[in-house]
Structure 1
Amino acid sequence: MGHRDDLLQGAKRLLARKGYAHITARDLVAESGTNLASIGYHFGSKEALLNAAVLDSFDEWDGEIERAIDARPGDAPADRLEAFLDGVVRGVAANRAVAMASVQAFAQFEYAPELREQLAAAYGRARREIAALLLERDDVDDETARQLGSLALATVNGLVLQWLVDPDSAPSAADLAAALRRLGQPDTD
């Protein structure tokens, strides 16, 4: 690995141990075995490096989530959503510190326009990818991607926060899928 990769991997390890807000540039250098100049050369700033590490960590969760969904080919979209959310819950449970660091990073986008742009781009890609996964097809139109992908992402964001705050009372993937199915049923009262 080169300095860039060393810094990125070191930042991800530190995010898991210390959280976003408590990492210094010196921590990054010590953890990665690089030097202070490398941070500026490869990322521009400590914050840009941490943002890259958070975004890269999201990609690592994607594999677990895709495995959960791919195990259910041919299922109805609500069932695939349940599998998707189950993958999210397992990801949060296995990577609580990274999930917490990502929440801290989200709080920074108001002061970091480049992070806001990166997150907006990541959300745009995620909406389309999630809608395609849930519908089990590649040809998802823009409106479907926006609507279905946004619903899934809103559910994910709320679910992650509930699991971080109170995992014992947080809903399961099955709970949320059952609630969505219930919304689709006629009111019998």
Structure 2
Amino acid sequence: MGNREALLEGAKHCLYEKGYARTTARDISTAAGTSLAAIGYHYRSTEALLNAALFQIMQEWGDEMSKALAADDLADAGPLERFEAVWVRIIESFQAHRALWAMQLEALTQSQHQTEVRDQLAGGLAAARLGLAELFDVSPIPATPAETVAVGTFHQALLTGVLTQWLIDPEQAPSAADLTAALRRMATTIAPAAP
């Protein structure tokens, strides 16, 4: 492995261990076993290296989540059963990959100060909305493009909210069963009364 790859791996390690804001150039060079000067030579700046590592982690995470959520055992599930089963998997991911999910939220705050991070997150968010719409919208009636975006946006908002609650207070955060019960209740209050 060359210095460029070692630096990327070292930065990824530091992001998991310390987060974006607390990782220094010295932390990365120590983790990578390289000199501080190697960062500037290969990546221009510590910020550029951290962004490259963050983007690679996000891509790896997205691939892993897609595989976990696209399992064949959901094919015959009804809408509520599918909703709950997917949320079980998402919440299990919160537990198994806490540092990664926390890093995702930290990246959101960094995006306010870094155009490159914001642009990368915006592209990922657009793709996530479409993926979530496809995952959750099992209606036999095809959705319009606007409806697809709306469904994906709803689920993305729910995911971000549940994640935030889970990271702050996992004991009080909603479970998949809680979310399903809430959805069932909301559906009964929205649905028109039977004749």
TM-score, scaled relative to structure 1: 0.83
**Contact 1:61–1:91 (Cα < 8 Å) also in 2:** no
Quote the residue 1:111 is aligned against. 113
Query: Identity over the aligned pairs, expressed in percent?
Result: 39
Kindly indicate whether residue 54 of structure 2 is the aligned counterpart of residue 51 of structure 1: no
CA shift, 1:92, in A, is 1.7
How far apart, CA to CA, are the structure 1 residues paired with 2:183 and 2:125? 22
Equivalent residue, structure 2, for 1:166: 169
Q: RMSD of the alignment, in Å?
A: 2.6
For 2:68, the equivalent position in structure 1 comes to: 67
Contact 2:137 2:151 in 1 (8 A): no
Specify the code of the residue in structure 1 equivalent to 2:125: Y
CA 34–141 in structure 1, closer or farther in 2 if over 3 Å, else same: farther
- Cα distance between partner residues in 2 of 1:98 and 1:125: 19
Distance between the aligned counterparts of 1:69 and 1:61, measured in 2? 14
For residue 106 of structure 2, what is the amino acid of its counterpart? Q
Provide the C-alpha distance between the structure 2 equivalents of 1:159 and 1:110, rounded to a whole number of angstroms.
22
- 1:136-155 matches, cutoff 5 A: 141-155=144-158
Whether the 8 Å contact between 1:51 and 1:105 is mirrored in structure 2 is no
Unaligned runs of 5+ residues in structure 2 are none
Q: How many pairs align? A: 187
In 2: Cα distance, 1:134 partner to 1:155 partner: 12
Q: What SS does structure 1 have at the residue aligned with 2:111?
A: coil
| Greater Cα radius of gyration, structure 1 or 2 | 2
> Is contact 1:92–1:99 with CA below 8 Å preserved after alignment?
yes
Which 10-residue stretch deviates more, 81-90 or 33-42? 33-42
What TM-score, normalized to structure 2? 0.81
Distance in structure 1 (CA, Å) of the matches to 2:147 and 2:28:
41
Pick closer, same or farther for the CA change 1:180–1:66 going to 2, 3 Å. farther
- Aligned partner of 2:6 in structure 1 is 6
8 Å contact from structure 1 (residues 159, 170) kept in 2? yes
Inter-CA distance 48–159: structure 2 relative to 1 (3 Å threshold): farther
C-alpha distance in 2 between matches for 1:66 and 1:80: 15
- The partner residue of 1:121 within 116, 120, 123 is 123
Conserved? CA contact 1:20–1:102, under 8 Å:
no
